[in-house]
Amino acid sequence: MAPPRDTFLPFALPDIGDEEITEVIEVIRSGWITTGPKVREFERQFAAYIGAGHAVAVNSCTAALHLALEAIGLGPGDRVVTTPYTFAATSEVIRYFQATPVFVDVEPYTLNIDPAHLDAVMPGARAVIPVHVAGAPCRLAEIQAIARRHGARVIEDAAHALPTRLDGKLIGSSSDVTCFSFYATKSLTTGEGGMLCTEDQALAERCRTMSLHGISRDAWKRYMADGSWYYEIVAPGYKYNLTDIAAALGLAQLRKVDAMWARRREIAGRYDQAFAGLAELQIPTQAPDQQHAWHLYMLRLHLELLRIDRAEFVTELKRRQIGASVHFIPLHTHPYYRETYGYRPEDLPVAWREYQREISLPLYSRMSDTDVDDVIAAVLDIVTAQCRR
Ligand SMILES: *Cc1c(COP(=O)(O)O)cnc(C)c1O
């Protein structure tokens, strides 16, 4: 084994600099730290960046997904079609309504929901929630057409998809609702946070109202004249508002979202170049008419050519001071979904197979060229040591 680097390279780190720190300090000094002018400004600038009609800032992508399903009137016993190849949030929000998640298998290359399986399960479904895994766009036009045919809504989980482009257009303005995440590891972070984009004003208003205790802003505005104490509760809402402190962080991050993406793309390009020629490794695929957001670099192992499995590969990377992760443990293989719905891993064979050979490498704009070299050297070192050739 080649000598490892001196310090551990974390799998993910936020790219926060003096711009963010200055913005946050300004808000703290201002005396207004919860939802206020910074949140409104962040919503305005985010909507403009995406090209979306309406943007509602919330405190997580999970909250955004929950509000979207509430706004379309999801209820007990309803069915929502989604992918198993995602994080817990995508499906748990369906269960909040006592509705049923219906998992369909994914495409082997992108790991995104496979539209070929949709028609069979769509009859009677209220919505479909696709995920743009790693930042590679799913086959949105096909999904939207199938959903429309079945009278179902499309709610995009775009937690990885900033900035993802499809036919030149940023993801975020073509479905009923698109939900973004600003969690610490995501491509724009506010610590915790999320944004919901929609072209439907009534839907945006419902989400906004429900994001803050079901308090109607219209009523509040109506009675503003005689003081701001009056409000009306129109539904039992939630406490999902974003703070101005977080929004200040978001505004500074938004200014550099393209620069951070360019750096991630550069790193992904170097990984591609280093790994493309090795039979033991499969690099991510990318179509020419698409812009990958490069939230994750998902490498896949040809296990039949290696003497170690994926878990051991992760351990070997760690021994070489490189943090790695795995995306995703398919939802249908987790105890809750197995026990509640009787899923077996093989029921969604592509998701199950690909999960077992996937490794996510560090990919973030703060990585130095040396960090990237170290990751490449570690991967090549392991492949050389463990290949069956
Ligand atoms: C991170 C993530 C979420 C949840 O985002 P939060 O902002 O943490 O709620 C949802 N879906 C996917 C695919 C994610 O990776």
Q: Which of 110, 131, 138, 157 to mutate to test the pocket of ligand 1 (most atoms within 8 A of CB)?
A: 157
Q: What region does 181 belong to: left with phi over 0, alpha with psi -120 to 50, or beta? A: beta
Rounded average pLDDT over 205-222: 83
Percent residues over pLDDT 90 in the chain = 93
| Contact predicate 52/168, CB 8 Å | no
Establish whether residue 211 lines the binding site of ligand 1, counting it when its CB lies within 6 angstroms of any ligand atom. Answer: no
Q: Is the pLDDT of residue 48 over 70?
A: yes
Q: At 79, which helix (H) or strand (E)?
A: strand 79-82
Q: Grade residue 99 by pLDDT with cuts at 50, 70 and 90.
A: very high
d(C-alpha 41, C-alpha 57), whole Å: 10
* Distance between Cα 86 and ligand 1 center (Å): 9
End-to-end CA distance of the chain: 18
What are the start and end residues of each CATH 3.40.640.10 domain in the chain? 18-255
Residue carrying structure tokens 């073509």: 174
Give the C-alpha separation, 139 to 303, whole Å: 28
186 is catalytic: yes
- Cβ of 178 closer than 6 Å to ligand 1, yes or no, is no
Q: Quick check: CB of 70 below 6 Å from ligand 1?
A: no
- CA of residue 293 to ligand 1 center, whole Å: 15
pLDDT band at 216 (very low <50, low <70, confident <90, very high): confident
10 Å Cβ neighbour count for 158?
Answer: 30
Q: Span 257-386: which CATH code?
A: 3.90.1150.10
Q: Token match 């929609």: residue?
A: 198
Report the b/e string of 303-315 with b at 16+ CB within 10 A: eeebebebeebbe
Q: What is the pTM of this model?
A: 0.97
Give me the DSSP letters along 295-333.
S-EEEEE-GGGBSS-HHHHHHHHHHTTB--B-----GGG
Give the pLDDT band (50/70/90) at residue 358: very high
Whole-number pLDDT of residue 222 = 56
Ligand 1 pocket residue status of 179, Cβ below 6 Å: no
**How much is the pLDDT for 2?**
77
Mean pLDDT of 114-130: 98
pLDDT tens digit string along 145-172?
999 999 999 999 999 999 999 999 999 9
Residue type, 83: T
Q: Between 257-275 and 244-255, two packed helices, what is the crossing angle to 10 degrees?
A: 60
Distances (CA, A) of 149 to 54, 75, 146: 25, 21, 5
Stated as kind and residue range, the H or E segment containing 178 is: strand 177-181
For residue 276, the model assigns a pLDDT of 97
Rounded to the nearest angstrom, the distance between the alpha carbon of 58 and the centre of ligand 1 is 13
Between CA 72 and CA 327 the distance in angstroms is: 29
Output the residue whose Cα is nearest ligand 1's atom 8.
183
| Strand ordering across the sheet containing 358-361 | 281-282, 297-301, 358-361
Residues forming a β-bridge with 299? 359
3-state secondary structure 33-78: CCCCHHHHHHHHHHHHHHCCCEEEEECCHHHHHHHHHHHCCCCCCC
- What is the distance in A from the centroid of ligand 1 to the CA of 62? 6
Q: How many other C-beta atoms can be found within 10 angstroms of the C-beta atom of residue 280?
A: 21
Strand partners, 290: 166
Ligand 1 atom with minimal separation from the 63 CA: 9
Per-residue pLDDT tens over the stretch 278-307? 999 999 988 888 999 999 999 999 999 999
Q: Can you give the pLDDT at residue 220?
A: 52
Q: Which of 38, 169, 186, 239 is catalytic?
A: 186
Domain 18-255, CATH among 3.40.50.300, 3.40.1530.20, 3.40.640.10, 3.40.50.1820 = 3.40.640.10
- What residue spans in the chain does CATH classification 3.90.1150.10 cover? 257-386
Mean of all residue pLDDT scores within the chain: 96
Adjacency order of strands within the sheet including 165-166: 169-170, 165-166, 290-291
Tokens at residue 210, please?
């429900």
CB 85 within 8 A of CB 131: yes
